[in-house]
Every structure is written in C-alpha cells, then in structure tokens.
A and B are shown apart, each in its own frame.
Chain A
Amino acid sequence: MSATGHRNAGAIVGIGATDFSRCSGRSELTLAVEASLAAIADAGLSVRDIDGIVKCDMDFVAHNDLAHALGLPGLSYWGETGTGGGAPCGMVGQAIGAVLSGQASNVLVFRSLNGRTGARYGQGDGQGAEQGGNGTYNEFFVPFGLSTPGQMWSLMARRHMIEFGTTQEQLGAIAVACRRRANVNPSAQMHGREMTLDDYLASPPITAPLRLFDYCVETDGACAIVVTSTERARDLPQPLCVVRAVAQGVQCGMQPGVAFPTLMRDSITTMPSAVVARRLYERAGLGPEDIDVAQFYDCFTITALVQLEDYGFCEKGEGGPFAASGAIELDGSLPINTAGGHLSEGYIHGLNHIVEGVRQVRHVSTSQVAGAEVCLVTSGLPIASSAMILTRGTR
C-alpha cells in the first residue's frame, strides 16, 4: 500500500466530551466512560459495535479499564501511541490502520485526565532528591532549575525573539484570538471571560518571556471520538467527516528523553511539525492554501506560533507578524482554534482539537467558519508530532 493508501479511507463518525473544569470530582476512568458513551451515541452506534481502542501513552486509563467499564463485549484490537500531546492525530492514524487492515471495525480513541486536580503537568519533573538516569536525561536540566514545560518553551520563545524579532504583542495576538473563540463556546473554561491585548500584557510573567496568558489552562476532563471506514461512515447519521490524510514525524537530530533534550537540537525554533507538514500535505495532495480552518496544538502561545511557520502559512520567522495581522481571527485567512484551544477552552492534550475539527467540517462549531470544507488538526510538539486533514465528505 502506498503512503497515500489511507487517503479518504477513514472517517470520524462520533465525537464526545465531558465538561471541562478545574475540579471534575470524578475519576479519570469515569470521565473516559462519559466521553466515550457520548461519542458512541453521537455516531449512532452502541457499545457492542466498538471493537477497538487506541489510547495515549500518558493516559492513566488502560484499554482494558475502559473496555470493562463500558461493557465492551468484543474488544479485538487495542493500541497506544505517544509521546503525550504529540499522540492524538497519530492515534487516529493507528485506528485507521486497524480498520483498513481488518483488525477492527469501529475504534474508540480517547484522552482522559484530571489535569488540574490530579497530575498537573505544569508542576513538571524533579521532586526527587536525585535527578536523571535511565534515559530521562533530567540530570542535565533539573539541577539547574529547569523542570517544567513552560520553562522549556520560554527558552524556545526567547530564541524565536532573538532570531526573528518576535514580540510579546505577537504572542498575545494568539492568546487573544483563542480567548475570543472560547468566549462564545459554552463548554470552554474561559467562556464569557473576555481578555484584551492590554489584559494579556498586564498579566504576570511566569517564565519570561512567557506570561500567565501564554500558558494553557490545566483542565479536568475527557474527549473521545469514534473512527471507522469512510464506506461504513456513509451509513451513519452524522455529516461525513473524512480523514483526508494523517502523518506522524520526527526531525533530524530528534533527541531522546521526554522533552528537555529537544533544547539540544540544531534549531529550537523549527519543530517536528515542519516534517509532519511536508509529509501530510504530500499524502493529502493538498497544501496550506487549501486549508479553511486550523486547530493548532497550543500548550503555549509560542507553540502555535511556530506551527504557523512550520505548516507553511507564512515564511520561517514570520509567525509573529502573521499572528498579529488578524489572519488567525474568525474573519481572517486562517481562523485557528475555533473552540478556544488549550489556551482558553481546556487542556485535553490535543483530543479537544480533533473534536473541534470535526465540528467545523460538520458546520456545528460555536465559531463556525462559513462553508468550511478542509480543517487542519495538529498534535503536540516538540518531541515528535502528528497532524491530519479533515474534510467534509459527500455521501
């Protein structure tokens, strides 16, 4: 099968989510069950139809936990991919692979985390008396006070400013755009909580140059989707959301470990997203000019900014001016993160970006891009990344 053998062959037929909050009051397993039941019902299926599960490597809910809790009678395929937030689009790719190879018919893809009341990723590594070893490489970072993702991304943001003159206001344009989309999304943590660029600039520095509103909102919640073949999707009730293509990728000199070693790459301003982008566009037979709306993984503003460049919407180094030009607003050439993204809807580790991408091609988003036919969805960086292109299909 060629690299384009999966083009248009898989579809997302169901989407589901819990509420997004700072305190769910439920276990991660309960959240996963709620989101999964919602996705299965949305697809017009029953739990008896689900025979595959794909999870994220960092999810505490194992496939058998979820299968048992849902009462799946016929689980015949399960898989797991990572790393962390880089996984979600790759998880969809894995699900499509299972469907096309006959190992499963309807695959549940989920992410569940009590990201605020449980393990808070913002607290980082390094609570132990000794750091590093066993392939973590933390010994080169934590003893110097570098222990959180935000600190790492701040080093990347500063370097982007050094190399390209990127400004705080340009980062702020991304935070403000995401906030505006969240303001009209009743499910978003920042629903109704308006923020101007002045509000952004007045927010406290956390890890300069990044400020409070450059950071995403740690969230308790879960999302789930159902993946099946496009052929089968034609018989299901929802508007057809076809996966045009999916791709995963790493970059040369990728570096080992979880995240901090990526600071040792030749460049810390170009990400694996650039590799994923080339592969994805080739597999899709499309280019950036074909994208109507995009859901960019945005654990931080700078994360989204580098992807504007890596996915070819502007030249390298022009992400800041592009973001500040209005292009990423709802009436711009490339509306982004139309549910509010991680920055303002909630941090469900990239799965909520997929759910919103499906809403856009179904034409049911709370910030609907008129006539959207093609949506780019990306997953996390900087370790290894993935992305996909969703299109509105015809029956």
Chain B
Amino acid sequence: MTGAQFPLPVIDDIDTGGHWQAVLRREIAIRVCAGCGEVLHMPTAYCHACGGWNTKWQVVAPRGILYSWTTVYRQIHPAFPAPYTVVLVELTDLPAARLVGHLPGEPDLVAGLEMTATFMDIGDMRVPVWRPAGWPPDAERGQAGQP
C-alpha cells in the first residue's frame, strides 16, 4: 500500500454505501430484494425482477471461487505497483454476485480456486482482501499486503 495515493472507496453513496458500512464491520454484504430474493448487485434501490422497493443488505460468508483474473504488468495507478493480479471472485453464498480483489505479484492461479476474504485498514477506511484459501497471512509471506 502506498498511503495517501490509495484510491479509497466512497462509502456513503445512497445506493452502494451499505456494502461499505458492512466492510467497516468486517462483513461482506450484498444488496438483495427482500421480496423475491433477486440479487441486486450492482446495488440498486428498486428490484427490476419483481418491482419491489423493499431491499436488504444480506451478509454472506467471506468465501468464493475464482471466476477470472488478470495479471497487470503495465503500471497505471500509482497506488498499485506492477506486477499485481486482479481477481474476480464468485461468492459462495450468492453465486449471482461477484467481487473484485487484488493479489500482489503474479501468482499461479486456476479457475475455481477457493478464495477467502479478510480485511485491511487504510487510515479510517477498511477494504476486503481476497486471497486463495490456505495462503499464509501476507506478513508471513513477506508481501506488502496490498488490498
């Protein structure tokens, strides 16, 4: 992590803020329709499936499987030194929802790999950190522990 330059998420958006409020509680939450259960991700206030306005933030296990990934060799953003790997994770509890994560370096990966999330604080903010299940903690691997 490179501190001040880090692009922190907006956490108080009226449609998406519930996700980030959950992250501050060390939880992963996805917006779903309270009426019909439709997964509303990206988050919206209105359910396009049943026409309902009653939605909730469903807390899910911080687990998923690796859906796709890309290893970035050409650095674009100053907060993310290359090489690093962007992962797309399908949530185990709600397979209709995917979240993006960041792995340092260029690890060997395979589709379907089990992934788990922990959380890392950046100043007053907190972001999920997705890692392959069974990886030792970042500190023990000698990595910088970038989110």
Measuring CB to CB, which residues of chain A are less than 8 angstroms from any residue of chain B? 123-124, 126-135, 137, 139-148, 151, 154-159, 162, 204-210, 255-257, 261, 263-264, 266, 268
Contact = CB atoms under 8 A, between A and B. Distances in A.
Contacts, number: 125
B71 A155 contact: no
B80 A130 contact: no
B127 interface: yes
Given A144-B147, A255-B42, A131 B7 contact: yes
Interface string B115-133: 0000000000001000000
Contacts of B9: 130-132, 139-140, 142-143
Contacts of A127: 7, 77
A134 B13 contact: yes
B7 A126 contact: yes
Nearest to B111: A162
Interface residues of B, number: 44
Contacts of B12: 133
B68 A151 contact: no
By CB atoms of chain B within 10 A, which of A123, A147, A148, A210 has the most? A147
Contacts of B98: 263-264
B60 interface: no
Contacts of B80: 145
Contacts of B7: 126-131, 142-143, 147
A263 B77 contact: no
Nearest to A154: B70
Nearest to B106: A208
A129 B16 CA distance: 18
B144 interface: no
A155 B15 CA distance: 26
A80 B12 CA distance: 32
Given A131-B8, A137-B42, A264 B70 contact: no
Contacts of A130: 7-10
A123 B70 contact: no
